[in-house]
A = this chain, B = another copy of it.
Amino acid sequence: MEFLNDEVLDILDRAGADVDHAARHVRFDRGLILDAVAKAPSEFTLHARNPARDVTLGGRRINFCPVASAPYCSDIDRGRRPGNFADFGDLLRIAQSLNIMHAFSGYPVEPIDLPPETRHLDCYRAFVTLTDRVWHPYGLGRARAADGIEIACLARGIDRERLKAEPGVITVINSNSPLRFDGPMLEGLMEMARAGQPVIVTPFTLAGAMSPATLAGALAQQNAEALAGIALIQILRPGCPAVYGGFTSNVDMKTGAPAFGTPEYAKAALAGGQLARRYGLPYRSSNANASNVADAQAAYESEMSIWSAVMGHANWVLHGAGWLEGGLTASFEKMILDAEMLQMMAAFLDPVAVDDDSLGLEAIAEVGPGGHFFGTAHTLARYETAFYEPIVSDWRNFETWEDGGGLDATQRANAIWKQILADYEPPPLDPAIAEAIDDFVARRKRETSPTAA
């Protein structure tokens, strides 16, 4: 593995790895990796500024997060456009309003209308004012992580020691596959690990491009890269929470275009979960697809991703709602369609009650051959909560649906996100905390970029 950071090379050297400082290459003994990885907890809790939004990573818990890091955003009225801070805020407001979004794990869209040096300060302030959930500072460079840690403390009114004991932010470090961690990512990783905040280490192993054109090869490489990153975290701070990230998919071998939600992607997502459990680590997967619009392809590729994330026992499903175009676009309509798909999966995972009352043998005897159950006491007692109620799905018959405008699911999703934005109210925040965050953001903007303040 290549580590493009001299401090990391020194740390790994002292920890017993075989380091070639000139080439910045590191070889790890199997025992060194396994001993370090074994120090990571198999389960941990992330604390939100609203304790009702705390989330647990590990075991049987599944957390869904919205799309992250898209450079574009789109909706069917305004089309596709570069990411900007107004859309960033609206996507936060929508996700905050969807119960199935358990946490944020990145900017839903990159607000490129803000200056890059101080953009993160505006974004972090938006996370802690527009939402009350766990969120995600970026790990690209030390300052972005450090500012996130500071704002996480301010938002919860706690100090760094308390934040170490009760972590509240999480970031993703991608290896630059194959076999490389770049300098800024390693700075972010160190900053987060030293503050006791969890890092998801996700190799970007597209089979046929950044890894071999076989699932076995891509997974072997994913595993090596993920474990190397997690071992480094444990060497920096033994016991620091960390997450095994799987993102293996394949490219279209004719064009080199990345593909997601493919059969190969689904198999890799399952195998990634098996590997994470082998090492006793929480597991991160995604809801990915490669469609250019929120259409049937977007839905079926997403379902392949969602089912394989759930069947793979993923604890953290990044890009859970809103992702299109292999992650290049955050779609407002897709966010609603995904929320429906995720809610359906959550309802699917609810156990089936089986007891005398639910078996309803008396109701069956009462109705008898050829009857119906609409008016029975058994039905009346439970009809309001008997079944999952959809937000997008339209089950009216064709004629009624046509008379109602004949809108497809994407058009209905459009109306839903608009209503959500119209109904949105920010979650309560102590004005003193809001002011402290404003002061911090203003000060850091002055320090970072005097002309921007």
CA A259 to CA B386, docked complex, whole Å: 13
25 A-B residue pairs with Cβ-Cβ distance under 8 Å, sorted by A, are A2-B370, A178-B364, A179-B369, A179-B370, A180-B369, A207-B386, A208-B379, A212-B363, A213-B373, A214-B378, A214-B386, A216-B354, A217-B358, A252-B395, A253-B387, A256-B374, A263-B344, A267-B352, A294-B296, A295-B408, A297-B299, A297-B393, A299-B300, A300-B340, A326-B395
> Is A430 engaged at the interface, CB distance under 8 Å to the other chain?
no
Extra pairs beyond A214-B360, A300-B303 (17, CB < 8 Å): A212-B363, A212-B364, A214-B353, A214-B382, A214-B386, A253-B387, A255-B395, A259-B395, A267-B352, A292-B394, A292-B401, A293-B408, A296-B413, A297-B392, A297-B409, A300-B337, A325-B397
> Is A173 engaged at the interface, CB distance under 8 Å to the other chain?
no
Chain A stretch 229-284: residues in CB contact (< 8 A) with chain B: 250, 252-253, 255-259, 262-264, 266-267, 271
Chain A stretch 367-396: residues in CB contact (< 8 A) with chain B: 367-374, 376, 378-379, 382-384, 386-388, 390, 392-396
> Is A298 engaged at the interface, CB distance under 8 Å to the other chain?
yes
- Are A364 and B221 interface neighbours, CB within 8 A? yes
> Is A304 engaged at the interface, CB distance under 8 Å to the other chain?
yes
Kindly list chain B residues whose C-beta atoms are within 8 Å of the C-beta of A347.
263-264
Kindly list chain B residues whose C-beta atoms are within 8 Å of the C-beta of A370.
2, 176, 178-180
Interface membership of chain A positions 201-219, coded 1 if the CB is closer than 8 angstroms to chain B and 0 otherwise: 0000001111111111100
> Shortest distance in angstroms between A238's beta carbon and chain B's nearest beta carbon?
27
CA A163 to CA B260, docked complex, whole Å: 46
> Shortest distance in angstroms between A346's beta carbon and chain B's nearest beta carbon?
8
> Is A8 engaged at the interface, CB distance under 8 Å to the other chain?
no
Identify A372's interface contact among B210, B215, B395, CB under 8 A. Answer: B210
Number of interface residues of A (CB under 8 A): 106
Kindly list chain B residues whose C-beta atoms are within 8 Å of the C-beta of A408.
293, 295-297
> Is A132 engaged at the interface, CB distance under 8 Å to the other chain?
no
> Is A328 engaged at the interface, CB distance under 8 Å to the other chain?
yes
Interface membership of chain A positions 335-368, coded 1 if the CB is closer than 8 angstroms to chain B and 0 otherwise: 0010011001101101011110011110110011
With both beta carbons as reference points, the residue of chain B lying nearest to A345 in the complex is identified as B263
Kindly list chain B residues whose C-beta atoms are within 8 Å of the C-beta of A212.
358-360, 363-364, 373, 376, 378-379
CA A252 to CA B383, docked complex, whole Å: 9
- Are A393 and B256 interface neighbours, CB within 8 A? no
- Are B179 and A364 interface neighbours, CB within 8 A? yes
> Is A307 engaged at the interface, CB distance under 8 Å to the other chain?
yes
Residue in A257, A354, A373 whose Cβ sees the most chain B Cβ within 10 Å? A373
> Is A1 engaged at the interface, CB distance under 8 Å to the other chain?
yes
> Shortest distance in angstroms between A70's beta carbon and chain B's nearest beta carbon?
12
- Are A396 and B257 interface neighbours, CB within 8 A? yes
Residues of chain A at the chain B interface (Cβ within 8 Å): 1-2, 25, 72, 80, 176, 178-180, 207-217, 220-221, 250, 252-253, 255-259, 262-264, 266-267, 271, 290-304, 307, 325-326, 328-329, 337, 340-341, 344-345, 347-348, 350, 352-355, 358-361, 363-364, 367-374, 376, 378-379, 382-384, 386-388, 390, 392-398, 401-402, 406, 408-410, 413
- Are A360 and B297 interface neighbours, CB within 8 A? no
Kindly list chain B residues whose C-beta atoms are within 8 Å of the C-beta of A337.
296, 300
Residue in A212, A216, A341 whose Cβ sees the most chain B Cβ within 10 Å? A212
CA A226 to CA B264, docked complex, whole Å: 37
CA A72 to CA B297, docked complex, whole Å: 24
With both beta carbons as reference points, the residue of chain B lying nearest to A80 in the complex is identified as B398
Identify A295's interface contact among B1, B214, B295, B340, CB under 8 A. Answer: B295
Residue in A180, A292, A298, A408 whose Cβ sees the most chain B Cβ within 10 Å? A292
Kindly list chain B residues whose C-beta atoms are within 8 Å of the C-beta of A406.
292-293
CA A45 to CA B253, docked complex, whole Å: 38
- Are B300 and A217 interface neighbours, CB within 8 A? no
CA A386 to CA B262, docked complex, whole Å: 12
